[in-house]
């Protein structure tokens, strides 16, 4: 029952946020955004059912850093807040990567065939973005390496966990990359129509799928 309430609340806040992007209601967008991740942290607590494991604990900590990043990125035009938000999400991606690694029957290993499309995507994205990043190139590269590492680790879990856990976590990680790609392209390259709608809709689903995927791993 508590799990349904947590998921329902997240869906409500997510719907409010996406709607706010479409109707240009900044106050509603900010308020609903601030409420999203705490609801997911509560969902982790509920789904854990008192069974605390290292991956679940690190997932909650990673979500907390994501929440801090969300708050700082409410002021994206201020470079110091943008860098702060980037730093918070960088830590979150490192923690998510560790969570993916730990939420497996055996240690996930590098799969070159699976890695190549991810690396290719990163190279193409860098090609368009880096010339426009100026003095932010270093932090952008560092963050991109972390999030691409996270989605790679999610991909390497195939066969190392249940199909449900793998699919949910991997698609969530992939959507997270897509959401951040929208942010980077919109900020540095070209104005994307309805950019905040695309950024938040992919981000909201991504975080939820990652949580559900990790929490669906048999045995925690």
Q: Under 8 Å CB-to-CB from 4, ≥6 apart: which residues?
A: none
Q: Which has the closest alpha carbon to 143: 189, 92, 211? A: 92
Q: Is the pLDDT of residue 76 over 90?
A: no
CA neighbours closer than 13 Å in the CB half-sphere of residue 41:
16
The mean per-residue pLDDT over the stretch 147-175 comes to 96
pLDDT in tens, 205-220: 999 999 999 999 987 7
Whole-number pLDDT of residue 50: 77
Domain-located, residue 48: yes
pLDDT-based confidence at residue 78 (cuts at 50, 70, 90): confident
Whole-number pLDDT of residue 49: 86
Domain-located, residue 32: yes
Domain-located, residue 110: yes
Domain-located, residue 164: yes
Whole-number pLDDT of residue 52: 86
Q: How many domains does the chain have?
A: 1
Domain-located, residue 220: no
Q: Which has the closest alpha carbon to 183: 143, 156, 215? A: 143
Predicted TM-score of the model (pTM): 0.94
Whole-number pLDDT of residue 56: 95
Whole-number pLDDT of residue 2: 84
Whole-number pLDDT of residue 209: 98
pLDDT in tens, 113-150: 999 999 999 999 999 999 998 889 999 999 999 999 99
The mean per-residue pLDDT over the stretch 30-43 comes to 96
Domain-located, residue 92: yes
Domain-located, residue 145: yes
Whole-number pLDDT of residue 62: 97
pLDDT in tens, 167-207: 999 999 999 999 999 999 999 999 999 999 999 999 999 99
pLDDT-based confidence at residue 161 (cuts at 50, 70, 90): very high
- Residue range of the domain that includes 102: 2-215
């Amino acid at each position: 029952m508590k799990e349904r309430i947590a998921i329902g609340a997240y869906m409500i806040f997510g719907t409010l946020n996406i709607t706010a992007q479409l109707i240009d209601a900044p106050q509603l967008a900010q308020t609903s955004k601030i409420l999203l991740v705490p609801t997911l942290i509560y969902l982790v607590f509920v789904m854990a059912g008192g069974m605390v494991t290292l991956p679940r604990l690190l997932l909650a900590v990673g979500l907390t850093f994501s929440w801090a990043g969300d708050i700082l990125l409410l002021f994206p035009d201020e470079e110091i807040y943008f860098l702060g938000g980037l730093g918070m999400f960088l830590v979150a991606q490192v923690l998510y990567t560790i969570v993916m690694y730990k939420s497996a029957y055996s240690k996930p290993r590098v799969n070159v065939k699976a890695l190549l499309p991810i690396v290719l995507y990163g190279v193409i994205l860098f090609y368009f973005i880096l010339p426009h990043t100026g003095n932010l190139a270093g932090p952008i590269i560092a963050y991109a390496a972390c999030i691409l590492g996270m989605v790679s680790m999610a991909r390497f879990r195939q066969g190392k966990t249940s199909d449900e856990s793998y699919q949910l976590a991997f698609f969530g990680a992939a959507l997270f990359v897509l959401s951040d790609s929208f942010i980077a392209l919109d900020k540095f390259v070209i104005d994307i129509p309805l950019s905040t709608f695309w950024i938040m809709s992919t981000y909201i689903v991504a975080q939820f799928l990652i949580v559900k995927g990790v929490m669906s791993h048999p045995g925690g």
